[in-house]
Structure 1
Amino acid sequence: MQQRQFASKQRTYVSEPEKEEYGVDYEYIGQIPAINKYVIRAIYWESLEYILIDRTSGEESIRPNEFPHLSPDGKFLIVFDDDVFKFHHEVELYTVNETTIEPIVNLAFANWTLPEEPGSSGFWGKDGYFYIPVIHRNYHEVYGNEIKDKVQYMRIKIL
């Protein structure tokens, strides 16, 4: 991971995957220019998280467990958290202003899960809704991983 110099500090993330269950591997994912943030993924022994870092100050904003999706108007971030250790899945909603990202609501879904495919964490539609591909728990228990035709979409509108 590269060092980055910010206006008020220098921040360095050092990968140490050789420490096995206590190790971490940092990966630079990119930027979200609309909110002036770098995005880094931290991969741990049995989990991962995304770190949003202010491109000017170097301060960390939030550390969600899944990739945060910025709304088309730039006012909200939404994350569908599919953390297997929680035994349920959550939608986390954040409000975004020029300098801060603040949590608004965290909703738990006991009967829905994400498909086990890369890139299945959702997307913003042209209609202003956020779409999350989901599979009902009953289908997953009956069909296992052969459930591609059982994927439905949860549609979320922020008012």
Structure 2
Amino acid sequence: MVPLTVPTTMPMTSYGPNTRVVVAGVDYTEVHDEWMNQDIMKKATPGNTRVVISRGSQRGQLMVGDEVAMDFPVCLGTASHRTPVGHFRITEKAVHHVSNLYDASMPYFMRLTDSGIGMHVGPVFQTPQSHGCIRMTRSSCVPLFKTVKVGTPVTIVQ
């Protein structure tokens, strides 16, 4: 695997079957390692797929069975808007979603709670800066969105 610097708008799938990608913001306030294994992604079914998000490491993983199919950075909620810990399921998916609380665009939104917490494309920094949602880079969020289904389990841990 060879690290690459790529724009966040390019899909990871165009770099090869098992690729590690380094995504860097223009001013390098955002630098993230993203990883995807296409061979494992091909095995994904609604019954064997789950997402694990770690508040401590600000990382997410797409699991297919017991194998890691994707590993990616996330940006979680601030101290005053904490991302909840627990077991959830994706209850809604929308390519074009706008927050009814903040009037903010949330592309590739995957809802986890009735209060509006979900996973979506947004700025990903190395410290918690969201209002509780799980922000992801476009290069991680789009393939995750295409793989998971309504009902997919999501576990958020400390």
Does the pair score TM above 0.5?
A: no
TM-score by length of structure 2 reads 0.28
RCO comparison, higher one (Cα < 8 Å, 6+): 2
TM-score by length of structure 1 reads 0.28
The structure carrying a bigger strand percent of its residues is 1
